[in-house]
Amino acid sequence: MGNELKTADIGLIQKIIPHRFPFLLVDRVVEIDGTERGVGIKNVTINEPFFAGHFPGEPVFPGVYMVEAMAQTSAVIAGIGLGLAEKGISIYFMAMDGVKFRRKVVPGDVLRMEITKLRGGGKVWKFRGVATVDGGIACQCEFTAMMDLPK
């Protein structure tokens, strides 16, 4: 599909990755440049089910969910870049490296996830993700995933 810049709304996202409520953690992908990079958006709302226990009286978006949201965004980027909408892509975490949490993410925040492919093309892909809120880094990491691509 070349390097043309593209976007993905929730309908297209759901055609690429199997995640659904309450575990679909990317609302829109606003930039897609082939399989090389992209930017996803997660609107954090008080309606998220985990806020009841994380934490009562002081809701904080769980850090591990930030990493998962970046992984889902990377799967969407790769899926669109490879033309895999509605073809059944499965992606499984293999490793997370250098995970750092820099600030709290709370209801009302818009999490912007900037994803860059470090290695990919076969079954094993590696990405760098940086999640920001209002320009400030909330989370950064590198992660490896295995993609079970259709034949």
Q: Let me know: does 69 contact 125? Beta carbons within 8 Å.
A: no
Query: Which entry of 15, 54, 103, 126 is annotated as an active-site residue?
Result: 54
Q: How far is 55 from 31, CA to CA, in rounded Å?
A: 32
142 CB-near residues (< 8 Å, 6+ apart): 96, 97, 98, 118, 126, 127, 128, 129
Does residue 19 carry a catalytic annotation? Answer: no
- What is the set of active-site residues? 54
